[in-house]
Structure 1
Amino acid sequence: MENVIKIVLAILLFLCLLDMPYGFYQLVRFVALIGFGILAYNSSEKENKTEMFIYGGLALLFQPFFKIALGREIWNIVDVIVGIGLIASMIMNKTKSQR
């Protein structure tokens, strides 16, 4: 389930690089808040405090209620970094589970 959430979030964040209507970005913020919230909760259940704080911070960064105005260019950089980070975390978790 975690991998599905990470893939969906990564795809949505990469789609934010395109010129989309404003409503799409609002949808991404809501989905990211929920997705990162679930990932933070799952990390806390696994007692992985580092991941819990990272996902909790990302949930706060992307939350739609009190918007953080970073400008389009910086948001694009954040979207790419977070998207790549989500994919990298899936790969790292897969290699850990194979050991």
Structure 2
Amino acid sequence: MFALDSRLQQDTLPVGDFPLCRLVLMNDAQYPWFILVPRRDEISELFQLDTDDQQQLWQETTALAEMLKDTFGADKMNVATLGNMVSQLHMHVIVRRCGFHADS
């Protein structure tokens, strides 16, 4: 049975579910910072997901990033899996406003 890591529960607010992932919002006022967590037990690495789940995770990540970029007028989207604090596989999708422009 899927359970969100206790650290993620403590540091985030629930938003909802995609077909594969639980979507949570990081409790950080500096950036719109969302996290997708595949609802699969005992998965800590992307390669542990089967091929269909890997594709689904990427589709959900891409759809979320595109929507956030448009909604927040982002200059850059930071998308990454990090495991330095929480071993449960999770994808960070962070809106960044870098202050640079492609024509500069």
- Report the TM-score when normalising by structure 1: 0.39
Structure holding more strand per residue: 2
Greater relative CO, 1 or 2 (CA 8 Å, sep 6+): 1
- Report the TM-score when normalising by structure 2: 0.38
